Amino acid sequence: MATAATAFHIHLTPQDAGIYHIRDIKDDAAVKASELLQENHQLYNMYFNDRGFHNHIVHHLLAVYALGAPPPLIQKAFDDNADYQRPALPVEGPIVNKLGEVDKFHEYLGKRKYYPDFLTFFQKHIEIQGYENVVGEYIFKGDARADDLMGRLFAGFLHPVIHLGYGIEFKQPVIVAEALAQTCTHDNYMNKILFATEKAAKERKGAPSKSLTQLLDEIRASDKLRTAAHWDDASKIQDGIMKRAPAEMAQIASQWTVSPDEIEEKTAEMINNTAYFTGACLNPRKEIKFDFIHMHSLNCSIFFSAFLAQDWISRENKARLLQFKGWTDLILYAAHTAPDLHLDEITKYQPKEPVPESEEDAWARIFTRVTRLPDDGHANKFIRALANGNKVCKPYENKDSFKIKGDMWLKLANMVMDSVEGADSKWLFNAGFEEAWAELEDRE
């Protein structure tokens, strides 16, 4: 076992337990999580099928570790998700060498079979230069290559930026290398709409930013955007929003902007907004289920707290990355027909289990429940993102644009747990469409 984290070896310590974690992380949990993350890195592919579905072992193990799971539960989280992974692919040495040539690099982008080659390429660079410098060059430099990868970070329902967030948050160069390789092997379909939005934002020439909740309302009020995605579209973003209403989407999203001097509040606003449209996107006539795609926006939000804490990322780059995240959230909301959001579903919710009077004890009870849940990591990420949002958004709860406040965070966490424990199907897909709810049980 390595005695320090390197580009080739995972090494967690209780001091590197993430931007949000329980108070008392044990050494044996850090050792167990490190061993299993190393095993995952060496044995398994980043994609577990030909459709590009992601290996979530990194996400799951780090989430349960941060929420206080002891070694046996960390082992169980690994075992529950190892049996369907595919073995790691071999590295092609000549291709790794070609990736060092700027004019050759782009030839291999977007092709999952080259993941091991990109991984080795980035590991070698990180080992020499440090992950901060490599991320700076390949994501934040501002040249054509870095901009291309910046857009790819937000493809695949934000999986590349989630993985990068884990690597940076937990200070693990291996995971940063995995994230960069994953980014390079994702499609660039988000690039066109994100950079069109950025261009439109620059053309606004300093006009005041609207809030994200205002823009949710504007999207819902736009017939063209609300109806752009169809139930039978294979991709609600690519076949819906990007084909039928790209200009309208860019025009509305571009009205949310972030300047370097306001990234703290804007990060909190983005986090609150994801909790709002993920948590309130329910059908009052049906049993409670949360949308799987919306959930990724919320699950990803915690990493922007982690990015905010990095002094090696400039405030300008933090602001730009945050804008891309806020715009992606708006796009995902529009792609689900901009559904009505029922805030009262949260405020009036009565949890199935008694809730301890102490807020700290209430969250601890939630963490115990979720780390024991048979899961692939999504529920644990959901809960940790909510707990982080509860902390980060408290200073801004008096603002109208912060819809989730007070005990609503804890109510949402209980709603999540009550909806997934013992459920054969934990999540709903495409919640804005009536068809998505057809097979779910009616409320009494």
Query: What are the residue ranges of helices labelled H in 335-399?
Result: 344-347, 359-371, 378-393
Q: What whole-number distance in Å separates Cα of residue 404 and Cα of residue 419?
A: 19
Residue 219 confidence (pLDDT) above 50: yes
- pLDDT for 1: 47
Whole-Å CA distances, 333 to 121, 339, 386, 390 = 36, 8, 19, 22
Query: What are the residue ranges of helices labelled H in 44-169?
Result: 57-66, 71-82, 93-98, 102-105, 115-129, 131-138, 144-152, 159-169
**Three-state secondary structure call for residue 248:** helix
Mean pLDDT confidence for 84-103: 93
Mean pLDDT confidence for 102-124: 96
Provide the 8-state DSSP code for 26.
-
pTM over 0.95: yes
Residue 16 banded pLDDT, cuts 50, 70, 90: confident
The two counts, helices (H) then strands (E), for the chain are 22, 0
The ranges assigned to domains in the chain are: 1-187, 188-444
> Would you give the distance in Å from CA 176 to the centre of its chain?
15
- pLDDT for 407: 97
Residue 305 confidence (pLDDT) above 80: yes
Residue 29 confidence (pLDDT) above 90: yes
Q: What whole-number distance in Å separates Cα of residue 371 and Cα of residue 74?
A: 8
* Cβ neighbour number for residue 53 with a 10 Å cutoff: 12
Residue 206 banded pLDDT, cuts 50, 70, 90: confident
- pLDDT for 192: 97
- pLDDT for 2: 53
Residue 406 confidence (pLDDT) above 70: yes
Least confident of 12-16, 42-46, 230-234: 12-16
Whole-Å CA distances, 222 to 195, 225, 237, 423, 426 = 22, 5, 16, 36, 31
Query: Are the C-beta atoms of residues 57 and 44 closer than 8 Å to each other?
Result: yes
Residue 323 confidence (pLDDT) above 80: yes
> Would you give the distance in Å from CA 181 to the centre of its chain?
17
- pLDDT for 156: 94
Average per-residue pLDDT for the chain: 96
